[in-house]
Amino acid sequence: MSVRIVITSGKGGVGKTTTTASIGVGLAQRGYKVVAMDIDTGLRNLDLLLGLENRIMYDLVDVTRDNDPIPYKKALVRHRKYETLFLLPTSQVQNKDAIKPDKVEKLCNEMDKEFDYILLDSPAGIEEGFKTAIKPAQRAIIVTTPEITAVRDADKVIGELGREGIDDIKLIVTRLRPKMIEEGDMFDMRDINDLLAIECIGQIPEDEAVIKATNRGEPVITMEDSMAGKAYKNVIGRLFGEQIPFYKPPKDSFFTRLKKLFGML
């Protein structure tokens, strides 16, 4: 039996694929057998983030088509380093109708025995691709940035998921910029939690390491010294119910505080 988790957001470009890649690796590091499915047909890039683009033979369209479909095992791409992590890529061709929600659900049922986790990387929006991605899912991870538009969209998506009967929904907030939040230009975690009222399992800072990781095709969770990498590591722990406090960036060091106290700064 597999646990099927959809990673979704509403608003685009908030870090769903980045999150899917890192969670995929994180679960594989713990020894689980994981398949990460890219449902963002036409705009695929999970393969890039996992550094597997050159190994793709078949894709989701080939596997789910009506005539003469390819067995899914042929389409799976094994990760070079984490051998229990697989990618099921989607098609590069923009044809949203090519993939039917029912077919993807059936495919997940087929893969059920083989994998511990099925991760579904959803496209932005709440249209077909989104519906295809959530149909097979039992759980959801909502990704948002601390911007009002992203948070509002996340709220809508939570409503949609509820309608589909998915009520195990966790939150990951990405691209946190402590400075902007401090200055009141962005929502802080309290505002977000207040509004969305679902359990938060990740606070990922804005971090250049994410871009480096993307370019190298190595999910940022593997960059263990980076802030974002650590934050994603903690996400994995919290997925398993471990009590991990959220990292608070230090504001002032003890000495600067002392100096301020004595009027030296």
Partner 1 sequence: MEDIVKIKGMKAGLILSFTRGAKFDEIRANIQNKLESGNSFFIRGTTAYVSKDTLPTDQIEVLRKMFHQHGMLFRTELPKIKVENPKTEPIKKLPPEEDPQQMIVINKTLRGGQEVRTKSSVLICGNVNPGAQVIAGGSIDVRGTCRGMVHAGAFGNTKAFIVADQLIPMQIRIADMIARSPDKMEKSETPERASIKNGHIVIEPITR
Ligand X SMILES: Nc1ncnc2c1ncn2[C@@H]1O[C@H](COP(=O)(O)OP(=O)(O)OP(=O)(O)O)[C@@H](O)[C@H]1O
Contact residues for ligand X, defined by CB under 6 A: 9, 12-18, 40, 123-124, 174-175, 204, 206-207, 210-211, 214, 228
How long a stretch of residues is the chain?
265
User: Within a 13 Å sphere around the CA of 146, how many CA atoms are in the beta-carbon half?
Assistant: 25
Cβ pair 13, 174 in contact under 8 A: no
Query: Which of Mg ion, ligand X, partner 1, none is residue 53 near (CB under 5 to 8 Å by kind)?
Result: none
When the beta carbons of 2 and 226 are compared against ligand X, the nearer one is 226
The site string for partner 1 over 115-154 (x = CB under 8 A, - otherwise) reads: -------------------------------------xx-
Query: In what helix (H) or strand (E) does residue 144 lie, and over which residues does it extend?
Result: strand 139-144
Our CB check for Mg ion shows the closer of 34 and 178 to be 34
Residue 70 region, left (φ>0) first, then alpha (ψ -120 to 50), else beta? beta
The tally of CA atoms less than 13 A away on the side-chain side of residue 117 is: 30
Tell me if 155 contacts partner 1 by CB under 8 A.
Answer: yes
> Could you tell me the CA-to-CA distances from 28 to 49, 73, 158, 230 in Å, in that order?
15, 18, 27, 16
Closest distance to Mg ion from the beta carbon of 42 (Å): 11
The H or E element containing residue 120 is strand 117-121
Backbone angles phi, psi at 160, to 5 degrees: -65, -40
- Distance from C-alpha of 204 to C-alpha of 172, rounded to nearest angstrom: 8
What mask, x for binding Mg ion by CB under 5 A, covers residues 140 to 179? Answer: ----------------------------------------
The distance of closest approach from Cβ of residue 156 to partner 1 in the complex, given in angstroms and rounded to an integer, is 4
* Nearer to partner 1 among residue 156 and residue 212 (C-beta): 156
Interaction of residue 9 with Mg ion, rule CB under 5 A: no
User: Is there binding between residue 159 and partner 1 (CB under 8 A)?
Assistant: yes
Q: Choose which of 2, 8, 17, 214 interacts with Mg ion (CB under 5 A).
A: 17
| Parallel, antiparallel or unpaired: strands 117-121 and 199-205 | unpaired
Q: Name which of partner 1, Mg ion, ligand X, none residue 258 binds, using a CB cut-off of 5 to 8 Å depending on partner kind.
A: none
Token readout for 215 is 């370019």
> Given the rule CB under 8 A, which residues bind partner 1?
152-153, 155-156, 158-160, 162, 194-195, 197
Provide the binding-site residues for Mg ion, judged by CB under 5 A: 16-17
